[in-house]
A and B are shown apart, each in its own frame.
Chain A
Amino acid sequence: MRYRAAPGTGGASTLTTILFIEQVLNGLQFGVMLFVMAAGLTLVFGVMGLINLAHGSLYMVGAFAAAAVAGATGSFVLALGAALAAAAGAGALVELLVIRRLYDREHLDQVLATFALILIFSEGTRWMFGSFPLYLDIPDALSGVVTLPGGIQYSLYRLVIIGIGLGIAGFLFWLISRTRLGIRIRAGESDREMIAALGVDISKLYTLVFALGAALAGLAGALVGAIQSVQVGMGEPVLILAFVVIVIGGIGSIKGAFVGALMVGLTDTLGGLLLPGFFRLFMENAAATSTGSALASMLIYILMAVVLVWRPQGLFGPQT
Chain B
Amino acid sequence: MKREMLINAALMAGLLVVPLWAWAVDEPFTITLATRVAILALAAVGLNIALGIGGLVSLGHAAFFGIGGYAMGILASHAQTYDPIMQWPLLVEGTKVMPVIWIVAVLAAALAALVIGALSLRTSGVYFIMITLAFGQMLYFFAISWPAYGGEDGLSIYVRNDFPLLNTLDPIQFFAICFALLALALWFSARLAASPFGLALNAARQTPQRVEAVGLSPFRLRLAAFVLSGAITGLAGALFADLNRFVSPVMFSWQTSGEIIVFIILGGVGRLYGPVAGAALFITLEHFLGEVSDYWHIFLGLLLLAVVLFARGGVIGTLAGRKVAHD
Contact = CB atoms under 8 A, between A and B. Distances in A.
Interface residues of B, number: 45
B161 to A, nearest CB: 29
A108 B122 contact: no
A102 B308 CA distance: 9
A119 B129 contact: no
B297 A122 contact: yes
Contact of A126 (B119, B134, B295): B295
A243 B133 contact: yes
Interface in A297-320: 297-298, 301-302, 304-305, 308-309, 312-314, 317
Nearest to B300: A119
Contact of A290 (B147, B304, B308, B312): B147
A293 interface: yes
Summarize A's interface: helix, strand, loop or mixed. helix
B134 A116 contact: no
B85 to A, nearest CB: 20
A119 B301 contact: yes
B119 A309 contact: yes
A240 B120 CA distance: 17
Interface string B102-134: 000000000000000001101111110111011
Interface in A230-263: 240, 243-244, 247, 251
Nearest to B147: A290
B313 to A, nearest CB: 11
B244 interface: no
A123 B298 CA distance: 6
Contacts of A116: 300-305, 308
Summarize B's interface: helix, strand, loop or mixed. helix
Interface in A115-139: 115-120, 122-124, 126-127
A111 interface: yes
A79 B137 CA distance: 34
B145 A305 contact: no
Contacts of A313: 123, 127
Contacts of B298: 119-120, 123-124, 127
Given A116-B302, A116-B305, A309-B122, A107 B254 contact: no
A98 B137 contact: no
19 contacts: A51-B129, A107-B57, A107-B126, A109-B265, A115-B304, A116-B305, A116-B308, A119-B300, A240-B254, A243-B133, A244-B134, A247-B126, A251-B127, A294-B141, A294-B142, A298-B141, A308-B120, A308-B131, A309-B119
Interface of A: 45, 51, 98, 101-102, 105, 107-109, 111-113, 115-120, 122-124, 126-127, 240, 243-244, 247, 251, 290, 293-294, 297-298, 301-302, 304-305, 308-309, 312-314, 317
Given A102-B308, A107-B129, A113-B304, 17 more contacts: A109-B312, A111-B59, A113-B308, A115-B258, A115-B304, A116-B301, A116-B303, A119-B298, A123-B295, A127-B298, A240-B254, A243-B133, A244-B130, A298-B142, A301-B138, A308-B122, A313-B123
